[in-house]
Structure 1
Amino acid sequence: MNLTMRALLGATALSATAALAQAETLTIATVNNGDMIRMQGLTADFTAKNPDIELEWVTLEENVLRQRVTTDIATKGGQYDVMTIGTYEVPIWGKQGWLVSLNDLPADYDIDDLLPAIRGGLTVEGELYAAPFYGESSMVMYRTDLMEKAGLTMPEAPTWEFIRDAAIKMTDKANEVYGICLRGKAGWGENMAFLTATANSFGAKWFDMDWKPQFDQKPWADTLNFYLDLMNEAGPPGASNNGFNENLALFQQGKCGMWIDATVAASFVTNPKDSTVADKVGFALAPDNGLGKRGNWLWAWSLAIPAGSQKVDAAKKFVAWATSKDYLALVAANEGWANVPPGTRTSLYENPEYQTVPFAKMTLDSINSADPTSPTVDPVPYVGVQFVAIPEFQGIATAVGQQFSAALAGQTSAADALANAQALTEREMAKAGYIK
């Protein structure tokens, strides 16, 4: 080998080593649900296009993720370059200046294609502070075979009384089939997401117009007693430990007649790879109680960049990739259109191929029917459907969720749980200066 060739090879090796040395590692905090796990499996597409960026994943259970990212961003810890956060955090953190604006994403990202309801929840004073990975509401998922066996037909827009009647008739405890599976695990984003949305349809609210807590009022008693009676009559054992993932597993195993939860679950209960009842699932809107509000929520799991990140440009490249039209097409090519992350883009719902997905229309209708600016029957001073968009909410609602979970476990009565919820919420709201 001549000297020139050796020099060239040496230069190439040095160049490769330098490129490796210059590679930036993005640390991404995310939730341990199916869509996020799927994304991790497809990131070879991103790294092939961005060889100078490496990815390090921190995948956490929902409640733990919320605690970790909240602590990190509030203390400017700088552990993460990309965070998976929700519609609750984005407006609060964006207003605080804790998140990087995404208004300058490339033109081909097409911000205007984002569904207005979802984009609006991630925007503060015209600045987009997070890009939605998937958007969701909640709806009824049910076993069509068990509904037929019970001699019932699920309406497209059921009432809570129909749900209760159907759940009791579909229950077969001897064969470990339970008429309904609902969240019972304590957490502001676990049982309280479900119960707050449900309470809206019962005429309940967290606060009146003077920020006085309302757990001592009849609508909350009606909500909690209905939920506890329903779960005791037709729910699975140990329900106070069950959140989204636990109920998903029960439904996939054929143990739930109905499950009222996130619309994003539809692809997992209808996927024959994972679900034993994939060909026996129907969908309906979340129930109402005749008061003009349905018991469904509005949420987006989104990717945001904390203001303390030293790798903003690389982080923006990843966020744009993971929430782009091209990513949706990538999932469709690998997993089929039914498994594409839903609820983010108008173009997805205009796509004739996606329109054939059995739950596509119900998901969009559910998202569009939730109004965070008018979530309750009576006027309230807050924005948010299954949450109240104030910084204090997550701490208060987690404590309230523990009271309600204890009631479901039989450790306390509904009356005592509500009294404790009222007292602790009043105390915290007074401490924060909302009430005197």
Structure 2
Amino acid sequence: MTTKRTLMGSAVGFGLAAGLATAAIAQDTTTLTIATVNNGDMIRMQGLTDNFTEQHPDIELEWVTLEENVLRQRVTQDIATSGGQFDVMTIGVYEVPIWAEQGWLTPLDNLPESYNADDLLPAVRGALSQDGQLYAAPFYGESAMVMYRTDLAEEAGVTIPDQPTWAEIRTAAEAMTDEENGVYGICLRGKPGWGENMALIGAMANSYGARWFDMDWQAQFDSPEWNEVLTDYLDLMTNYGPPGAAANGFNENLSLFQQGKCGMWIDATVAASFVTDPEDSQVADSVGFAQFPNKEGVDNRGNWLWIWTLAVPAGTDASEAAQEFVAWATSQEYTQLVAEEEGWRAAPPGTRTSLYENQEYLDAAPFAQMTLDSMNAVDTSAPAEGEIPYTGAQYVAIPEFQGIGTAVGQSFSAALAGQMDAEQALQSAQQITQREIDRAGYGEN
């Protein structure tokens, strides 16, 4: 009887100890909530995170994957109100300096030595730093370029030069349009948003010699240059673009191009790896590349620069674990992992010098040099031809631009949908922009 009680007591004691150990393990587990965008590179990253969790069994990952416009709205609202919903945020190069100055981001001062921040492209590292301190880590960087069907261009008897003008693009779009077979000469972003249609139209404006503001912070949508930009954009999309284009953003146009329905697609350089992927793209073996167009006589090719980054909000209580994840996802080792799993062509582009010194990557990615050249050509201190009081690229680097750009994008998208004409859309853009910029006090002495 005594023995039985002793054994039972031992069992109870062992069970209690095991329960306490389990509780301790559970207590030591950190869960990171990561907000990210639903594009191909980020989806690929999620599929490879077993590599991270195997190395960090004490860290669990929860994903909130959102469409681009929704992501921006959610993370901006959360960080501005100290909501604390996310431990890692996917944000762009536009937000990083603004949010860092507000004290909303944790400086990335806990990255391992093996991270090798000196390998980051100088322009990229500089754009994501303040006073020499990195506030976000680049997942991939991009400029913009023309992707086109070489077979359709040959059949149509047109040549797309390495440095095309918008007039040459229009000629090619007309020649390659074959609506009877469901092929449209050109696909461009139409979905409203400062980072959707206004990324494309903003870059297009720079390439036409237009600008958002003059030196007195007066909006310039009533200028001849902006009238030409929007008129030509609407002409291209109305005559040679796919139906329903006002709802098409990056992902929608990517799908159309991969299905062989676009003669040309002018968009982010990061798309190149997806349109040349034989597993997903029906036209992978017949894709050519050219630089972003300019208007003849304008020495500017769009000045598009974008970096999707991973940042740690200042309000998280899991900063150390969050920085460990950020370091993993933006490291040279992650690039190697992608190459091993999916080939060098799929490696995240536009962030590290070593990638463009890797002959395996250069051999696998025919678009690599053009991507690098396009990014290196960007001057964010002077994105427009005329004198301007702002910096940026396809965006204006002021906090108010997120709201202004989205409102203008809605007007331009409405014009594409036939709800107003170009003149009305430009008048709306002028009024919206000037009202908001005056309200914010720009241009006041």
| TM-score over 0.5 for the pair | yes
1:125 equivalent in structure 2 = 131
Question: How far apart, in 2, do the equivalents of 1:6 and 1:72 lie?
Answer: 46
Give secondary structure in 1 for the equivalent of 2:434.
helix
Q: Compared with structure 1, are the counterparts of its residues 435 and 381 closer, same or farther at alpha carbon in structure 2 (3 Å cutoff)?
A: closer
Give the TM-score normalised by the residue count of structure 1.
Answer: 0.97
Identity %: 66
Give secondary structure in 2 for the equivalent of 1:63.
helix
Q: How does 1:190-205 map to 2 (within 5 A)?
A: 190-205=196-211
Out of 339, 349, 354, the residue aligned to residue 347 of structure 1 is: 354
2:101 equivalent in structure 1 = 95
Moved more, 5-14 or 234-243: 5-14
Which amino acid in the other structure matches residue 374 of structure 1?
Answer: A
Out of 52, 59, 70, the residue aligned to residue 58 of structure 2 is: 52
Give the TM-score normalised by the residue count of structure 2.
Answer: 0.95
The runs of 5 or more residues in structure 1 that have no matched partner are none
Question: How far apart, in 2, do the equivalents of 1:180 and 1:74 lie?
Answer: 39
2:397 equivalent in structure 1 = 389
Question: How far apart, in 1, do the equivalents of 2:353 and 2:304 lie?
Answer: 19
- Asked whether the equivalents of residues 139 and 296 of structure 1 are also in contact (C-alpha less than 8 Å), the reply is no
The runs of 5 or more residues in structure 2 that have no matched partner are 1-6
1:281 Cα offset (Å): 0.6
2:3 equivalent in structure 1 = none
Greater CA radius of gyration, 1 or 2?
A: 2
Q: How does 1:313-324 map to 2 (within 5 A)?
A: 313-324=320-331
Runs of 4+ with >4 A deviation: 1-14
1:333 equivalent in structure 2 = 340
Q: How does 1:20-169 map to 2 (within 5 A)?
A: 20-169=26-175
Out of 292, 303, 306, the residue aligned to residue 310 of structure 2 is: 303
2:263 equivalent in structure 1 = 257
1:377 equivalent in structure 2 = 385
Q: How does 1:393-412 map to 2 (within 5 A)?
A: 393-412=401-420
Root-mean-square deviation (CA), in Å?
A: 1.7
Question: How far apart, in 2, do the equivalents of 1:258 and 1:22 lie?
Answer: 52
2:180 equivalent in structure 1 = 174
Q: Give the paired residue count.
A: 436
1:365 Cα offset (Å): 1.0
1:123 Cα offset (Å): 1.2
Q: How does 1:229-244 map to 2 (within 5 A)?
A: 229-244=235-250
- Asked whether the equivalents of residues 382 and 389 of structure 1 are also in contact (C-alpha less than 8 Å), the reply is yes
1:26 Cα offset (Å): 0.4
Question: How far apart, in 2, do the equivalents of 1:301 and 1:414 lie?
Answer: 32
- Asked whether the equivalents of residues 197 and 297 of structure 1 are also in contact (C-alpha less than 8 Å), the reply is yes
Question: How far apart, in 1, do the equivalents of 2:56 and 2:357 lie?
Answer: 30
Give secondary structure in 1 for the equivalent of 2:354.
helix
- Asked whether the equivalents of residues 79 and 313 of structure 2 are also in contact (C-alpha less than 8 Å), the reply is yes
2:368 equivalent in structure 1 = 360
Q: Compared with structure 1, are the counterparts of its residues 144 and 18 closer, same or farther at alpha carbon in structure 2 (3 Å cutoff)?
A: same
Question: How far apart, in 2, do the equivalents of 1:195 and 1:50 lie?
Answer: 43
1:126 Cα offset (Å): 1.6
Question: How far apart, in 2, do the equivalents of 1:20 and 1:352 lie?
Answer: 45
1:213 equivalent in structure 2 = 219
Structure 1 residues 366-392: Cα deviation after superposition (integer angstroms, max 9, x where no partner): 111111111011121111111101000
